[in-house]
């Protein structure tokens, strides 16, 4: 029966007229009609034409609709104008616009997403910052975010115009599936600051554009100690402006040797055990590394005061600065300056 109605224009218009007599609005009437006849039975512009004719009191069903002048659609706008429209829409509004038609969806997906932060907690819990506004799949302000699955958000990550200031990831099994999708694309993720929360996992750095990556923050625990050395040998890490490692491992068990050769890094300890001898040995080794530019060891629960006695050679002391030590860098006029604070010890290359 529905096939007969759809293929018979006069009968189809009669259905519109029947629904019109119920007194509902055009959008609601269209939705009800599509539920009955199917989504592809009639496009909305044609439906609206007949609905408005009936509203004006014109009930002639035999009018040739093709004689009507073609109306311009929003997709007829120049690409640059259409993109300016998108610049004024937030994440959820863009998502609603995508639902209008496949043509509009195709165009919207090519816009610059304007997303600067992407945070992945798990498959059902993720968030973004777009145009300085925060959107979360958990704390959503409309039902759209409920339907907007992470698989759709992956389209944002695959957008070649995406430039993330921060990507925070808890790499679980579902994230690995996201990486599989990204690997099938030739697009590299442009990320300035990468944060890896899961102490037992990492991400595939081959997915990242090395020219964009400036800072990495990762967690190190007992299970990940064995893989730290392999991870830190990546070229991505060696060219970072800053590598930050956060750990609850005692300094006595920490793999300091893996950080030899890393030019800029910070290590934050949660442990209350100082392991003075091992840390002092590590610092002395760093003094022989000409490639070291900056290093900071931080732990608020231990005192760094004892390290002053470990580094008290007369030729390294700095007059009127009891917290500073200076070590010349072999083959250079530069030197490494050790600064021993209350909660940290830092080393910086200076001229």
Integer Cα distance of 85 and 328 in angstroms: 59
Most confident of 12-21, 63-72, 268-277: 12-21
Integer Cα distance of 12 and 49 in angstroms: 13
Shared domain check, 92 and 206: yes
**Domain-located, residue 237:** no
- Which of 27, 42, 67 delimits the end of a domain? 67
Shared domain check, 308 and 183: no
**Domain-located, residue 226:** no
The rounded mean pLDDT for the chain is 85
Domain that holds residue 267: 246-351
Q: What kind and span of H or E run contains 3?
A: helix 2-6
**Domain-located, residue 159:** yes
- At 226-272, the pLDDT tens digits run 667 767 777 777 788 999 999 888 888 888 988 988 899 999 988 77
Measured on CA atoms in the order 55, 56, 60, 62, is the torsion positive or negative?
Answer: negative
**Domain-located, residue 241:** no
Shared domain check, 169 and 150: yes
Both tokens of 213, joined, read 């990556």
Shared domain check, 97 and 205: yes
Determine the length of the chain. Answer: 351
How many whole angstroms from its chain centre is CA 76?
A: 32
Say if CB 173 and CB 145 are below 8 A apart: no
Strands (E), the chain: 115-122, 125-130, 133-136, 164-169, 191-196, 215-220, 242-247, 264-269, 294-298, 317-318, 321-328, 335-340, 344-350
Shared domain check, 128 and 96: yes
Integer Cα distance of 231 and 235 in angstroms: 9
Give me the number of domains the chain comprises.
3
Shared domain check, 54 and 90: no
Is the whole model's pTM more than 0.85, yes or no? Answer: no
Shared domain check, 331 and 258: yes
Shared domain check, 170 and 91: yes
Q: Of 33, 150, 144, 143, which is closest to residue 98 (Cα–Cα)?
A: 144
In degrees, rounded to 5, the angle at the alpha carbon of residue 290 between the alpha carbons of residues 289 and 294 is 80
**Domain-located, residue 73:** no
- Which of 16, 36, 67 delimits the end of a domain? 67
**Domain-located, residue 234:** no
State the residue for tokens 């910070």.
266
Shared domain check, 181 and 103: yes
More confident residue, 3 or 297: 297
**Domain-located, residue 233:** no
CA distance to 130, 167, 174, 187, 215, per residue, from 194 (Å):
17, 5, 18, 17, 6
Shared domain check, 206 and 82: yes
- At 202-230, the pLDDT tens digits run 788 889 998 999 999 988 887 777 667 76
Most confident of 86-100, 123-137, 266-280, 306-320: 306-320
**Domain-located, residue 231:** no
Q: Which segment of 129-143, 200-214, 294-308 scores lowest on mean pLDDT?
A: 129-143
Shared domain check, 319 and 281: yes
- Which of 18, 39, 67 delimits the end of a domain? 67
Shared domain check, 202 and 318: no
């Amino acid at each position: 029966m529905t096939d007969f109605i759809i293929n018979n224009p006069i009968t189809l218009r009669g259905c519109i007229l029947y629904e019109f007599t119920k007194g509902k609005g055009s959008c609601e009437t269209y939705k009800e009609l599509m539920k009955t006849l199917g989504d592809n039975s009639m496009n909305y512009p044609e439906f609206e034409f007949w609905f408005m004719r009936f509203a004006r009191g014109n009930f002639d069903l035999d009018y040739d609709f093709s004689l009507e002048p073609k109306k311009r659609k929003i997709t007829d706008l120049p690409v640059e104008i259409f993109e300016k429209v998108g610049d004024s829409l937030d994440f959820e509004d863009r998502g609603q616009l995508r639902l209008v038609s496949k043509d509009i969806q195709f165009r919207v997906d090519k816009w610059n997403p304007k997303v600067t932060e992407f945070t992945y907690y798990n498959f059902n819990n993720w968030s973004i910052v777009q145009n300085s506004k925060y959107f979360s799949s958990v704390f959503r302000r409309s039902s759209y975010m409920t339907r907007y699955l992470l698989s759709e958000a992956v389209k944002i990550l695959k957008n070649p115009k995406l430039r993330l200031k921060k990507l925070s990831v808890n790499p679980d099994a579902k994230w690995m599936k996201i990486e599989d999708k990204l690997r099938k694309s030739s697009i590299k993720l442009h990320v300035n600051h990468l944060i890896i929360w899961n102490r037992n996992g990492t991400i595939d750095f081959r997915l990242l554009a090395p020219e964009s990556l400036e800072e990495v923050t990762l967690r190190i625990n007992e299970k990940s100690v064995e893989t730290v050395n392999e991870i830190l040998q990546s070229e991505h890490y060696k060219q970072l402006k800053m590598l930050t490692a956060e750990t609850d491992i005692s300094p006595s068990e920490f793999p300091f040797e893996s950080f030899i050769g890393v030019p800029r890094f910070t290590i934050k300890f949660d442990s209350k055990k100082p392991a003075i001898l091992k840390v002092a040995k590590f610092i002395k080794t760093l003094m022989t590394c000409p490639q070291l530019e900056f290093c900071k060891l931080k732990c608020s629960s231990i005192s760094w005061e004892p390290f002053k006695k470990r580094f008290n050679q007369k030729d390294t002391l700095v007059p009127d600065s009891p917290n500073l030590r200076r070590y010349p860098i072999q083959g250079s006029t530069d030197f490494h300056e050790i600064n021993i604070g209350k909660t940290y010890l830092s080393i910086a290359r200076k001229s």
